[in-house]
Every structure is written in structure tokens, then in C-alpha cells.
A = this chain, B = another copy of it.
């Protein structure tokens, strides 16, 4: 009897290469991943998480602005990311309230890389057409949240939808004075991208205020720091609740485990960290279901406290039925 041993597990199978291949498999290697959508029944509402894909890239010096490269890569290693790299996923949320089909954020839009820009294919796999969307709610105006507003040809991707953005966020990014004052390259790129995507849509895009419903049962919650007008959402149906945290944390493997780390994309990192603690102290104590744009698909889970100031995401258990 051969029992468990490192040698058995690691090398015994190596003999396979020496065996003749007697026949080709009846089924070729598919090379195709499963569709990236996932449904959550929230009382009468139906939530559909839509994967837009993910980017895996060599760890840059600046991704965490207040922590060294080695410390950040150690966190990536603890999450079993590829050595020396980090992975950031992107997952918009679609909510069918029964009377409105509401899309929160739009993903990266058309992208030649193929690793992102998949939201529309996954929406189609879920049986939804962009023309079915009644309302597009932007949580903030960063490229990975707004670029899906435009098709490859530059037309509005959601022809029948009302589109709304946070009033505070719109005022900040659409100010030419603010744009002129932007001193770093990243912020300058963000301003340029808002002009590229939102330019010409000034009359098409409405604004919303914090503390108000943007659709039945979907309330906008102030969550500033990541951007000046960054917004989260409370979704309520019957007695069920879910929180759409938008970018209160970027990848939880870094910024929930270490909520005082600053992601390079935060406009006011100290305020973002305050918002993060406030939000997650509440979400943990209330044991609320949270969906996060940068959580690994299916991008929903609960949060537990881990010691005084750290948190851990417990991913939702995949349900095969609704």
C-alpha cells in the first residue's frame, strides 16, 4: 500500500509522460470558462453579479502607497496570487427589483486584452440585453466603473436606460478647475478619461444625492475617500438586506486584511480608511451580506473581525438553486 507521502503526491504521477497515448479523448479540451454570472435571491429582488474579468499584473511599486513592496507581496502570497503579481477582479451588480432593472457600475468597457470587458458577454449569458437595463447607477467615476457606458463604436451602451451619477462626484470630476489643479499623472488620467467617456453625455446623465433612494429599495450611502463622491448602496427587499460596497475596499485580500493600507487609487486615503473601518465594523456586527466590485467572483460574502483592526471576507456559499 502506498500511503500519503510528499513523493507520491509530487512525483509518482510524473511517470504519466512516459505512457503512450492510446487514443485521443472523445471531447477536445474546451479552453472555455463557464459564464461569469451568479444570482442571489434577496426576498423579491434578484441580484445578478456580472463578472467583467480581472487583471493580473506584476506588482508595481505604488499599488499600496503606504506599505513596501515586500510586505504587499507577502499579502499577495497569502492569497495564493501568482508569484510577484497581483490580481484585481471587476464585478458590476445587476438588480432586478421586479419593476426596474438596475445596473450598478459598468465595468471596463471594450478592451482588446480580453481579460476584462467581459460584462456584456456575461450579461448575455444571463439572458439580459443592454437594452433591457432601465437604470444605470454609477458609484463613482473611475474608468473601470464608467467605461462600459460606451460601446466600441462610442455609442451609449444602454440605449433605454436612465443614467445617474453622484452629485458630489460629478461636480468634482467635471470641474475644469479641478482638472487644471491635478498634479499627479494618475489623477490627470482619471480626469482625461471622464472627458473621453462622459463628454457629450452631460445632459444624458442625471445626478443623485446621498441618503436617497436611487430606485425602489436601493439607497445611496455616502462613502467618500476613495473618490470625493464615492457611493455605496443599501439594497432592501422585504426583510432582506444587502450592501453594495463599491470600492470601499479594493481587493479584500489586501485592504480588508489590512484596512489601514492605502490603495494608490484612493483620492483621500485617510478618509477612505476611516470609511472602510466604519463600514466594516457595522457590516461585521450586523452580519450583513456585502458585494464588492473588486471581490473575487461571485463577489459576495460576509465579513468577520480578525483581532482589533483587521477583517476577513467569508465568501458566500455558492447556491446551485434560487
Contacts and interface: CB of A to CB of B under 8 A. Distances in A.
| Range class of the A interface residue count | 35 or more
A24 B98 CA distance: 6
A257 to B, nearest CB: 11
A282 B79 contact: no
Contacts of A78: 304, 314
A39 B118 CA distance: 17
Contacts of A218: 13, 16
Contacts of A8: 211, 219, 221, 234
Given A101-B25, A318-B51, A321-B53, A9 B126 contact: no
B319 A33 contact: yes
B87 A317 contact: yes
Interface in A91-146: 96-101, 114-115, 118, 125-128, 131-132, 134
A213 B15 contact: yes
- Classify the interface of chain A: helix, strand, loop or mixed: loop
Contact of A96 (B10, B27, B97): B27
A111 B115 CA distance: 38
A66 to B, nearest CB: 23
Interface string A296-318: 11100110100000000011111
A212 B15 CA distance: 10
A216 interface: yes
Nearest to A16: B217
A46 B29 CA distance: 6
Nearest to A297: B318
A38 B27 contact: no
Contact of A97 (B12, B25, B79, B287): B25
A248 to B, nearest CB: 9
B297 A53 contact: no
A4 B282 contact: yes
B27 A114 contact: no
A51 to B, nearest CB: 5
A319 B89 CA distance: 9
A317 B126 contact: no
A69 interface: no
A53 B322 CA distance: 11
B223 A4 contact: yes
Contacts of A37: 34
B126 A30 contact: yes
B96 A3 contact: no
A243 interface: yes
A31 interface: yes
Interface of A: 1-4, 6, 8-10, 12-17, 19, 21-27, 29-39, 44, 46, 48, 51-54, 78-81, 87, 89, 96-101, 114-115, 118, 125-128, 131-132, 134, 160, 210-213, 216-219, 221-223, 232, 234-237, 241, 243, 275, 278-279, 282, 286-288, 296-298, 301-302, 304, 314-322
